[in-house]
Copies of this chain bind each other. A is one copy, B any other.
Amino acid sequence: MNDIAHHIGRPRRSSKRTLEEAAAELFLEQTYARTTVDQIAARAGVSRNTFFNYFASKSDVLWVDFDETVERLADELAASGAEVAVMDAVRDAIVRVAASHPDDRVPWALTQVDLMGTRDDLEASGLRRFMKQCDVLGSFVLRRLGDSAGAVLPQAVAFSVIGAAAAAAGVWASAGIGRRPLADYVAEAIAPVCAGFAAVL
């Protein structure tokens, strides 16, 4: 994952960051849809196949910032003690993850959605990440509650809380310069959801 520590074998010629920056330039010039993988690779000075060596798909380059911060959700959840109520643990973990996101890094995916009507693979990559977070959160809630809550509620918690957080991220991204920190938006969005579930769990 890191760019350092390659003691053996041929050294890397490029990096995720390099490719992301090359892609970012092209996205600004001609939008995401009109930018081909060949162009990104060419501007980064590597071949097309090398691009796929760093990213599994073209759209993955839109989510590097997002992926880096949201990877920590599982850790934050695991770090919560069993004495704190489930929904409080959920809310605090998500807000902490949001707070750890650098204020100036807006994932490209969120800006390009507004720019043009959300292309296919962009949506694919978005839902993949959405579902992944739901998996993480849903299994946590299921562990904490056991079978007592039935099959629906844990899933409902996961989908609605992550959904509210996604909505907050969207508003945050489109708020432009002068926006408040991401964690503020997220906290406002998920607090009612968590409160609602806390009342029935």
Contacts and interface: CB of A to CB of B under 8 A. Distances in A.
Interface in A81-110: none
Contact of A155 (B122, B126, B170): B170
Interface residues of A, number: 46
Contacts of A152: 167-168, 171, 185, 188-189
B192 A197 contact: yes
A188 B159 CA distance: 14
Q: Chain A's interface: helix, strand, loop or mixed, by majority? A: helix
B167 A159 contact: yes
Nearest to A201: B192
A26 interface: no
Contacts of A196: 192-197, 199
Interface in A118-137: 118, 120-128, 130-131, 134
Contact of A127 (B123, B168, B188): B123
A190 to B, nearest CB: 7
A5 to B, nearest CB: 30
A162 B188 CA distance: 18
Given A131-B118, A192-B199, A175 B163 contact: no
Given A160-B163, A192-B156, A151 B124 contact: no
A41 interface: no
A70 interface: no
A80 to B, nearest CB: 20
Interface of A: 57, 118, 120-128, 130-131, 134, 150-153, 155-156, 158-164, 166-168, 170-171, 175, 185, 188-197, 199-200
Q: Which 8 A-B pairs have the closest CB atoms?
A: A196-B196, A163-B163, A124-B124, A156-B189, A127-B127, A159-B167, A159-B163, A160-B160
